Amino acid sequence: TQLLEQSPQFLSIQEGENLTVYCNSSSVFSSLQWYRQEPGEGPVLLVTVVTGGEVKKLKRLTFQFGDARKDSSLHITAAQPGDTGLYLCAGGGTGNQFYFGTGTSLTVIP
């Protein structure tokens, strides 16, 4: 099993603050995806990164894949209440399957 540990597990911040969520593993992944999930709904894909060192920006969200393809980070600038949710990373690993991280629950307070 290829484990992905996310930190922090819980995060509560004020609107307008910046934050970073980390996704770490000792295993190498062929790709890394980030999802946001709201209560009672399915995860929604935010981004896919496939190249070591790759950085992708989507408006206020910046995603980075580590050089060794073992870790990733998600940085949110000027967080808004609409960013509230469970953030999940998922790595494409051996056995042709995705391994999901432990999740980071983000609450942005207006």
Partner 1 sequence: DSGVTQTPKHLITATGQRVTLRCSPRSGDLSVYWYQQSLDQGLQFLIQYYNGEERAKGNILERFSAQQFPDLHSELNLSSLELGDSALYFCASSVGGGTSYEQYFGPGTRLTVT
User: CA-to-CA distance for 48 and 27, rounded, in angstroms?
Assistant: 18
Q: For residues 63 and 79, which CB has a smaller minimum distance to partner 1 in the complex?
A: 63
Q: If binding is defined by CB under 8 A, does position 78 make contact with partner 1?
A: no
Long-range own/partner contacts, residues 44-48 (CB < 8 A, 24 or more apart): 46/74
The pairing of strands 19-24 and 5-7 is antiparallel
Candidate segments 11-19, 60-68, 70-78, 91-99, binder of partner 1 by CB under 8 A: 91-99
Q: For residues 11 and 90, which CB has a smaller minimum distance to partner 1 in the complex?
A: 90
The footprint of partner 1 (CB under 8 A) covers: 30-31, 33, 35, 40-45, 48, 50, 88, 90, 92-93, 95-103
